Chains A and B, each alone.
Chain A
C-alpha cells in the first residue's frame, strides 16, 4: 500500500530543476507532499485531490494523474532552502501511507 517514489536521491545546483515521482498500485483519492529537513518534522507542502489539478508552493508545483495513479513534484529553479527529504503520501481507508522519500541536495 505504500506509494513508490523515484528517484531515491537527487543532487542539484542552485537554479536547476528536478522532478520527483510518486506512484501507487491502488486508485488514488488524494496525494500529499511533505518536506522534511534533517532533524525536523515533516512539513506540509500541498495536497492534490482527485481531479487532476496542479498546485504550486513558491516554485514547487505538483500534478496528479489519477488515471495513471501517480503524482509528480516539480522543483523549479531550485534554491538552497529546497534541500531536504520529500515524501509523498497517499490515502487508503482514511489512512495516510508515506513513500520512502526522495532526498534532495541543492548545492551552491
Chain B
C-alpha cells in the first residue's frame, strides 16, 4: 500500500493568499484526520471525517480554515486568507476505525507551510 499521500510537501506563500493542502488516505480507511504541528503547540487535531462526513471540527482554529472530503480517497484543507501564524507542518492521517486496533492512525509525510 502506498500509505497516506499528501501534497504539496512544501508550500511557501504570502500573507493573504489562499492555501490548499491535499490528502489521499489509505484505501479502505473510513476515518481521516487533519493535524497541525508547531513547536509551541505540538500536535493538534484540527478536524476528522468518518465516511467523508466531518464529525468533529472543534480543533479548527477559526473561520479561515475549512476542510472537505468529497469522496473516500480525497480531502482538502484550505486556509483563506493565510497568515504568518499559520506556518506549521500539517499532517493528514487515516485509520480503519475508532476502536481497538482499528483506531491506529497512519500519518502522511506532511505539508510544511510557510506564510511570509
* A residues lining the B interface (CB < 8 Å): 2, 30, 32, 34, 40-44, 47, 49, 87, 91, 93-101
10 additional A-B pairs beyond A42-B43, A96-B103, beta carbons within 8 Å, are A32-B104, A41-B91, A41-B109, A44-B104, A44-B105, A49-B101, A95-B45, A97-B45, A98-B43, A99-B42
User: In the complex, which residue of chain A has the Cβ closest to the Cβ of B106?
Assistant: A44
User: Which of B33, B55, B103, B110 sits near A41, CB closer than 8 Å?
Assistant: B110
**Can you pick out 19 interface pairs between chain A and chain B where the beta carbons lie within 8 Å of each other?**
A32-B105, A41-B91, A41-B108, A41-B109, A41-B110, A42-B43, A44-B104, A44-B105, A47-B101, A87-B43, A91-B98, A94-B56, A94-B98, A95-B45, A95-B48, A96-B45, A99-B42, A100-B42, A101-B42
In this complex, how many residues of chain B approach chain A with their Cβ under 8 Å: the count is 19
In the assembled complex, B107 has its CB within 8 A of some CB on chain A: yes
Given the complex, which residues of B lie within 8 Å of A49, measured CB to CB? 100-101
User: In the complex, which residue of chain B has the Cβ closest to the Cβ of A95?
Assistant: B45
